[in-house]
């Protein structure tokens, strides 16, 4: 996404008060998020938030960041323990004239079981591609968060499915 799109989304989040979520803005210094994670240190960040879904007490960190230092911004979503990312979103497409973040489930684990993960994701969630409507106003941020939290939870389930079922039999 372009920097202005990242700024737009971050500003909507800053101005929102969705009933189901607690949002805390993280401090940036000179446009960077310091001491957050080795993959983020020193990269330009327009905004960062700690977002908690109140009913499930699930927390993710949302970072609007120049992830590859090439002026292409991402919404990178980190797990609560900051061990890894749950999703890295950068593609915005118009669908029926409405902008959406579009993300494709494409696991890159090195265990030879990515085809099983993809099949599970597609079977359980209808498609490997996820489309989440960009909010037009701060009143739609809760619905945007709902989609992002669902994406992260589904991705985590699909990544772990090979630990639950033995597909080799």
Question: Do the domain assignments include residue 125?
Answer: yes
Question: Do the domain assignments include residue 169?
Answer: no
What residue ranges of the chain have pLDDT lower than 50? Answer: none
Beta strand segments in 27-128, E = 45-53, 58-65, 74-79, 85-89, 91-95, 98-104
Residue 50 lies in domain: 3-164
Question: Do the domain assignments include residue 20?
Answer: yes
Q: How many domains does the chain have?
A: 1
The confidence score (pLDDT) of residue 165 equals: 63
pTM of the model: 0.92
The confidence score (pLDDT) of residue 162 equals: 81
């Amino acid at each position: 996404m372009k920097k202005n799109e990242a700024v737009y989304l971050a500003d909507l989040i800053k101005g929102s008060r969705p009933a189901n979520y607690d949002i805390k803005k993280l401090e940036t210094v000179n446009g960077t998020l310091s001491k957050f994670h080795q993959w983020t240190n020193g990269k330009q960040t327009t905004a960062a938030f700690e977002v908690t879904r109140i009913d499930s007490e699930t927390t993710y960190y949302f970072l609007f960041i120049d992830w590859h230092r090439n002026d292409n911004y991402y919404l990178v979503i980190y797990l609560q323990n900051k061990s890894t990312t749950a999703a890295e979103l950068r593609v915005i497409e118009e669908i029926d004239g409405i902008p959406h973040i579009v993300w494709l489930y494409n696991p890159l684990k090195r265990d030879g079981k990515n085809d099983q993960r993809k099949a599970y994701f597609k079977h359980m969630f209808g498609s490997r591609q996820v489309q989440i409507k960009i909010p037009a106003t701060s009143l739609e941020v809760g619905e945007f968060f709902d989609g992002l939290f669902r994406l992260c939870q589904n991705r985590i389930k699909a990544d772990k499915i090979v630990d639950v079922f033995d597909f080799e039999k």
